[in-house]
Structure 1
C-alpha cells in the first residue's frame, strides 16, 4: 500500500466532523483558507462569511510534517 493510500484528514467545523481517507490532500490558499482535494477534485473548502473565516481543526494521519501545500 502506498503512503498516500494511508492518508486521512478529519475536519471538525461548526459542530460537524468529516473524514476523508485515501488520495487526499490539504491545501492552503494565498488568503489563508484551506481546502481538501481527493483524486484531484475539491471535496471540501473552508467558508468565509462576512469577512470572518470559519473556525476549523484538522487531524492529519499519514502526512509529512510539512503536509500542507500553499497555492
Structure 2
C-alpha cells in the first residue's frame, strides 16, 4: 500500500468508526501521533503498514461479526 493509499484508508476508517486519529494510533499502533505523523509525510516500514491494515481489517471483521475474536488473536 502506498503512502497516500494508507492515509486514505486510515481516514476512511476513522470516519467509519467515528474515531479520533490519536485514538487509532494509541489503540492499534501504540503511538497516539501515528496518524498525524503519517499525514505529515512519515514513511513506514512495510511491516508497520501491514500492522495498520491488519488492525483496520480486524476491527471491521469484528464489527461485521464475520469472525470470532479468538480467530484474530484478540
**TM-score, normalised with respect to structure 2:** 0.23
**TM-score, normalised with respect to structure 1:** 0.23
As a proportion of its length, which structure holds more helix?
2
